[in-house]
Structure 1
Amino acid sequence: MKISLKRLNSDYLFECTNSIGNAILLDNISESEGTKAVSPMESLLMALAGCSGIDMVSIMKKQRQIVTGFSAEVEGERIEVDEAKPFKNIKVKFYLEGEIDPVKARKAADLSFQKYCSVSKTMEPNVTVEYAVYVNGEKA
């Protein structure tokens, strides 16, 4: 796996491109008013939600669950370590809609975070990741 990074302005706006040409914009959002990019730390939260979301949808398809809606909210708590501010805790909430057995949805999340999600595994053991699953408005 390989990406390239290119600076786009005289400040902190970067374009990151993968090997097939798909790109995202990264910026120092604390210093860039009106930016249309995300910060590198926000991109980590997005990657975690995306990675576990892919896992969960894949698992639930195999379980023949009908997922008509899938979204997530992710919050990261940071701490100061010398001059850096890494994540200490991350909380993920998944919101699923459809003909879904709540027990199967929770099992899909458990499998993702405990076994399959490479982003979550990369953060271990330094970051505590907590997650909750809501199916049709009810906590699973």
Structure 2
Amino acid sequence: MEYSARRIGKMAFYAKTPSGHDIHMDANESSGGDGSAPAPMEMVMAALMGCTSMDVVSILSKMKVTDYEYWISANYEHAKEHPKVFTSIELVYHFSGKNLPKDKIEKAVTLSQERYCSVSAMLGKTADMSMRIEYEGEEK
């Protein structure tokens, strides 16, 4: 498999994935770019949230859990010196709905973090990873 990236501006790059998708990246103005697209580290965090979310939704579907709303947020810290890797990441899994099966949700989130999410496994090599689940607006 091959990825490619071509410079298209001061610090802007157009990348192509092996599956044929286009990705645009740029640095913010303080780093010499125009801020026209997400920076690479922003994309890494988005990839983490996407990876674990796809796992969770897939696992819950296999468990026949379908009636819920879901979103994810992240809090992080990064190194002060270069390379400014993520040093701490907290993922917050948000669920909303009636009669949520908390045991199945907790199992799905745990399986994603401990077994399936490859992005989480990679970032866990440099960052202290933690997670929590919040049940919002739950009606009983």
Which 5+ residue runs of structure 1 have no aligned equivalent? none
Residue 14 in structure 1 maps to residue 13 in structure 2 = yes
2:97–2:137 CA contact under 8 A, matched in 1: no
Amino acid at match of 1:88: T
2:85–2:126 CA contact under 8 A, matched in 1: no
The secondary structure found in structure 2 opposite 1:113 is helix
Aligned residues: 135
Q: Which has the higher strand share?
A: 1
Residue 26 in structure 1 maps to residue 28 in structure 2 = no
Q: Deviations over 1:75-101 (max 9, x none)?
A: 2210134x3211100111111234531
Match of 2:127 in 1: 127
Structural RMSD (CA):
1.8
Which 5+ residue runs of structure 2 have no aligned equivalent? none
Q: Distance in 2 between matches of 1:51 and 1:125?
A: 16
User: Structure 1 67/39 Cα, relative in aligned 2: closer, same or farther at 3 Å?
Assistant: farther
Match of 2:4 in 1: 4
Q: Distance in 1 between matches of 2:73 and 2:7?
A: 29
Q: Distance in 1 between matches of 2:5 and 2:76?
A: 25
Percent of aligned pairs with the same amino acid:
28
Amino acid at match of 1:62: K
User: How do residues 50-61 of structure 1 correspond to structure 2 at under 5 angstroms?
Assistant: 50-61=50-61
Amino acid at match of 2:113: F
TM-score normalised by length of structure 2: 0.85
Match of 1:90 in 2: 89
Q: How far has the Cα of 1:26 moved from its partner?
A: 1.2
Q: Deviations over 1:16-41 (max 9, x none)?
A: 211232122111124335x3311111
The secondary structure found in structure 1 opposite 2:83 is coil
Residue 41 in structure 1 maps to residue 45 in structure 2 = no
TM-score normalised by length of structure 1: 0.85
Q: Distance in 2 between matches of 1:19 and 1:125?
A: 25
Q: Distance in 1 between matches of 2:4 and 2:67?
A: 35
Match of 1:69 in 2: 69
The secondary structure found in structure 2 opposite 1:88 is strand
Amino acid at match of 2:78: R
1:90–1:130 CA contact under 8 A, matched in 2: yes
The secondary structure found in structure 1 opposite 2:38 is coil
